A and B are shown apart, each in its own frame.
Chain A
Amino acid sequence: MAASILRRSLLAPRCRAGDVAALHSGPSRRRAQAPGPIASGRRMGKSPAGERSVAPWVAVVGLEIHAQISSNSKLFSGSQVQFAAPPNSLVSFFDASLPGTLPALNRRCVEAAVMTGLALNCSINKKSLFDRKHYFYADLPAGYQITQQRLPVAVNGSLSYSLCVGGKKNQVVTRTVRIKQIQLEQDSGKSLHDDTRSQTLIDLNRAGVGLMEVVMEPDMSSGEEAAAAVRELQLILQTLGSSQAIMAEGQLRVDANVSVHHPGEALGVRTEVKNINSARFLARAIDYEIQRQIKELENGGTVINETRAFDYKLGCTIPMRDKEGKQDYRFMPEPNLPPLILCDNKSLPANTNHQHVVNIDWIRERLPDLPSVRRVKLVEQYGILPEHSFTLLNEDGLMEFFENVVRQTQMNPKKVIGWILNVMLGYLKQHNLTVQESPVSSLFLADLLNLLERGTISSSAAKQVLEELWKAEGKTPLQIVEEKKLELIQDQQELEQICQAVVEGHQEEVMEIKKGNPKVLNKLIGLVQRTTRGRADPVLVKQILEKRLSQ
């Protein structure tokens, strides 16, 4: 909770309620409902005597997220959808808005939107409508975008997301954001501005690609929450396959509406922070914007209703040059598309060709396990900690990797998770690799853990083997163990000799132990390990040394 309460700087000039209230008459006031996490402190509350009354600021964050639908073809045309194809190579006559062309709705896109709506607990509108939204822009060939302004395909849903809080980030709390609606709409093309030649180049490959716009109510109050909600949405979309949701490829684009106010008072004027294309920047952009607004208000300024862009190099939001001031989009029903009618098992007309209908119940029955369910299952099935289940799902492919390793090893999953999260993930992060790019396959890791589990090698030897495996030379863990002679020394006599030598060479430490400082024993164990390059069974070594020293 603490993160959501942003205290006034004590150094700030006095700012009275009236100063702030004046801002609330702005035209863009959002719903009067308070945001989820309400600050505990009341304004002008009973703060400790002597301290100037310090009312907390609360931030209100709402998101509009455009997710590109994962589909072979575009929303209304047969053009292929493909990232980074040669410019203007995926453009149908319709996409280029040639006169006389008409839209034909792509069934796959509708199914993806229904699927997403169901996964986000929305009610699915059995009848939804398409509208034209007009504005002139070079990468919008028709001069309008086909969207769902009046009656979108899905409404009134919710998304639960969790974030780790507390000093050690080991306390998982779950929050919910309401989903206002999900609408189907066309993507625009891309404009590439060549300032030196003062030219704009247009690539229409993206023009007409299907988007789902997910509108989240302003139920969040920090960048961290927004980022967690977006991350959860991303996971859900990827699980459903309705969007690949790769932010770096622009498949998931987030606009954030941010305002600040004092609890119990009307909401502040909001700004819109546009085009944030990574979860990390999302949190930073929102937090920056919250702080900026607070600072602005505390300095006696005002927040104006504007669109701002996040400059990730500078780490701040800057006002966007508004093209034409306030736009009137002159919405109009799209006359070339009949209403989108969906059916369910009850309303399914008899003798219908399944190609011609989209059945909501049919899609519902085939929904895969959502991330939240998967996490619970992971905790139950493998006995791992809830926060570990988050990490497993947050990294693309990591859960599958973990489960593959568990399947192929005798090691307890609770131990396996440590190897995966601490050792492997650490390595991947350090080298900026994805799970799919890992040089160590789940099979090799399982082999290695089996060697460890069977007592063939020690855990420090296992780490050495892993170091070799990262090089990805194709050697199996066992080959590496044999080549490097990393097996545990099984020969008791050999071990006894080594221990004897260590004891003899370190009489000072021996005296210490005998004086009653057992901790020094660890040093001796370490020395034995160093001598054997980690090949000694630490339990056995300890036993031998203790026996020696007690003699």
Chain B
Amino acid sequence: MLRVSLREISAALKEGRVSPTELCQRCLSFIKATKFLNAYITVAEETALKQAEESEERYRRGQILGDLDGIPVAVKDNFSTAGIETTCASNMLKGYIPPYNATVVKKLLDQGAVLLGKTNLDEFAMGSGSTDGIFGPVRNPWSYSRQYREKSVHNSHTENEDSNWLVTGGSSGGSAAAVSSFTCFAALGSDTGGSTRNPAAHCGVVGLKPTYGLISRHGLIPLVNSMDVPGILTRCVDDAAIVLGVLAGHDPKDSTTVQDPFKPFELTNFIDASKLCIGIPKEYHAPGLSSETLALWSKAADLFENAGAKVIEVSLPHTRYSIICYHVLCTAEVASNMARFDGLEYGHRSSMDKSTEVMYAATRREGFNDVVRGRILSGNYFLLKQNYETYFIKAQKVRRLIANDFVNVFRSGIDVLLTPTTLSDTIPYVEFIKEDNRTRSVQDDIFTQAANMAGLPAITVPTALSEKGLPIGLQFIGRAFQEQQLLTVAKWFEKQVKFPMIQLQGLMDYSHTVCQHQKSAFFS
């Protein structure tokens, strides 16, 4: 029951095959069973059940609020949720309970969605592994899939089964793991440089980063205001379109949302591929791209070509400067955005209170991890009067060039760009932490952050399993505000590739052993 898509469960609810309360309870117990994945920071059991009951009442009266009524969803823990702790996986906000809902959260709830809880992430969404938050790393459900287990049997020389678990990617790893492990039907992530698409690709789910300005950021605790977009993680493209329809639209509380009204759309099943023009950016043949992913990418291009589409190699010449500019702009905005965390109004406050300045310094040292502090430091350096022109202004200029590259490509007649989402499939945690957060971010955001620099919509679609039995996703980048076109192409592609469903028997077994282990530990 939990493995179906949002659209299917919605139909089941409407037909009375399942009740919202039952569904919610099932999800909650599944969350408990998969607790070791560490996907959730907070499980809002009580409010979720209350919301489910209210939904049930609406179904009983035949007055449902919308397609999401009664559907369990999860939200990344950097969206403000009224009455529910919102931590950003940071000591700085531990215990912080926002008095208001982010606009996207409000829109979900207004549609009757049931909010199960808040998902894990890298501290303040700064990372690409979901490994650097105060609540510990998120485990990729595929670590426990039959597909991965079977393939890794022959080389599983470790007695300790636990040491080989894989990272989810990040920073929205909690949301990706939640959708992937069937504990919810859709989840919100945030996407600043790839934070939704990266973990979606590694966890074998769909990750959509809409056009900047299409969805309100009000209530999303910012990383980089000029690039942040609420992201959508679902099991399939159709589901992403449904959630997008609920979330998109102007918000007076976010002046950067566009005024034009957004019309929710349904995706067609059939497209005339011969009218499509797919661009393959040659600069995305980056060093470090795994041969498997490369092969898959090229197979995907063939797929379009064989269906009659025009597939053209295109050039985005400024791509290679993108990641470095991204880091300058990102850290500068981070330095600015983090200035508000001073321990006065909310969040952590150090007990060192000799003077206001001492309190500020101690609060920020205690509240932020090394990654956040490092970014604040470099951001402030770039913003210094003497450096501003050399770094910030220059990065902004290059950002414009990067955006123009896309404009030129789309102007030349390309409808959608096809690229890898990540360099390769995911890797075990023990491997991942051999490099620091910054190095990982540079590697992992390489294909994704340009879309954020240019504000374009992009979606990762799970495409195939690697030799190790792990998901590989491919990315489509569309024209600004042309989500319908982008998703239509993505849906067609999804249908062609027939990505296999995760087989979580292993996960259940593991859950069982963990439970046993905990019990014995408890009784000993």
Contacts and interface: CB of A to CB of B under 8 A. Distances in A.
A337 B252 CA distance: 12
Contact of A332 (B220, B252, B256, B336): B336
B99 interface: yes
B225 A100 contact: no
Interface string B73-112: 0000001100000101000010010111010000000000
Interface stretch (A53-61, A102-110, A381-389): A102-110
B30 interface: no
A337 to B, nearest CB: 6
Given A99-B221, A143-B339, A330-B335, A104 B255 contact: yes
Contacts of B344: 138, 141, 202
19 contacts: A93-B100, A98-B99, A98-B100, A98-B345, A99-B86, A100-B79, A101-B219, A102-B217, A134-B383, A136-B339, A136-B357, A138-B356, A141-B340, A142-B339, A328-B385, A330-B336, A332-B383, A336-B254, A337-B255
Interface in A82-119: 93, 96-105
Nearest to B384: A328
B255 A100 contact: no
A104 B383 contact: no
A103 B256 CA distance: 10
A428 B356 CA distance: 47
Contacts of B88: 99
Those 3 A-B pairs whose CB atoms lie nearest each other, nearest first: A143-B339, A330-B383, A335-B225
Nearest to B254: A102
A102 B225 CA distance: 10
A97 B337 CA distance: 10
Given A93-B99, A99-B340, 15 more contacts: A99-B88, A99-B222, A102-B256, A103-B255, A134-B339, A136-B357, A138-B356, A142-B339, A143-B339, A328-B384, A330-B380, A330-B385, A331-B388, A332-B336, A356-B259
Interface in B41-83: 79-80
A336 B256 contact: yes
A100 B385 CA distance: 27
B218 interface: yes
Given A138-B344, A330-B384, A335-B333, A98 B98 contact: yes
Contact of B336 (A104, A134, A200, A328): A134
Interface residues of A, number: 30
A144 interface: yes
Nearest to A143: B339
Contacts of B340: 97, 99, 141-143
Interface string A313-340: 0000000000000001011100111100
Contact of A100 (B80, B256, B259, B336): B80
Given A96-B345, A98-B99, A331-B383, A132 B336 contact: yes
B32 interface: no
A149 to B, nearest CB: 11
Which interface residue of A98, A100, A138 has the most chain B CB atoms within 10 A? A100
A143 B380 CA distance: 13
A141 B98 contact: no
B219 A100 contact: yes
Nearest to A92: B100
A138 B93 CA distance: 19
B253 interface: yes
Contacts of B384: 328, 330
A102 B218 contact: yes
A92 to B, nearest CB: 10
B345 A141 contact: yes
A101 B98 CA distance: 11
What bracket does the count of chain B residues touching chain A fall in? 35 or more
Contacts of A98: 80, 98-100, 345-346
A136 B256 contact: no
A104 B388 CA distance: 27
Given A136-B339, A141-B340, A100 B99 contact: no
Contacts of B259: 356
Given A142-B340, A330-B383, A332-B392, A100 B221 contact: yes
A71 B93 CA distance: 34
B342 interface: yes
Identify whether the interface residues of B are mostly helix, strand, loop, or mixed. Answer: loop
Nearest to B228: A335
Given A100-B98, A141-B344, A202-B344, A332 B333 contact: yes
Identify whether the interface residues of A are mostly helix, strand, loop, or mixed. Answer: loop
B453 to A, nearest CB: 13
Contacts of B225: 335-336
Interface of A: 93, 96-105, 132, 134, 136, 138, 141-144, 200, 202, 328, 330-332, 335-338, 356
A335 B380 CA distance: 16
Given A138-B344, A330-B380, A105 B332 contact: no
B484 interface: no
A134 B383 CA distance: 10
B360 interface: yes
Interface string B258-292: 01000000000000000000000000000000000
Contacts of A338: 255-256
A335 B218 contact: no
A259 B384 CA distance: 29
A104 B253 contact: yes
A99 B79 CA distance: 9
A102 B226 contact: no
A136 B376 CA distance: 14
A336 B255 contact: yes
B93 A102 contact: no
A97 B345 contact: yes
Contact of A102 (B224, B253, B383, B385): B253
Nearest to A136: B360
A141 B222 CA distance: 16
B201 to A, nearest CB: 27
A144 B336 contact: yes
A100 B333 contact: no
A336 to B, nearest CB: 5
B80 to A, nearest CB: 5
Contact of B220 (A100, A134, A141): A100
Given A100-B79, A102-B253, A136 B392 contact: no
B403 to A, nearest CB: 15
A378 B290 CA distance: 85
Contacts of B360: 136
B230 to A, nearest CB: 11
A142 B225 CA distance: 14
Contacts of B80: 98-100
Contacts of B224: 335
B350 to A, nearest CB: 14
B463 to A, nearest CB: 34
Contacts of B217: 100, 102
B143 to A, nearest CB: 32
A328 B99 CA distance: 34
A356 B253 CA distance: 15
A202 B344 CA distance: 9
Nearest to A105: B255
A51 B38 CA distance: 91
B407 to A, nearest CB: 19
A193 to B, nearest CB: 10
Contacts of B380: 330
A348 B100 CA distance: 37
Contacts of A134: 336, 339, 383
A98 B224 CA distance: 16
A104 B333 CA distance: 19
Contacts of B252: 104
Contacts of A97: 340, 345
Interface in B16-47: none
Contacts of A331: 383, 385, 388
A93 B340 CA distance: 13
Contacts of A99: 80, 86, 88, 93, 96, 98, 221-222, 340-341, 346
Nearest to B79: A100
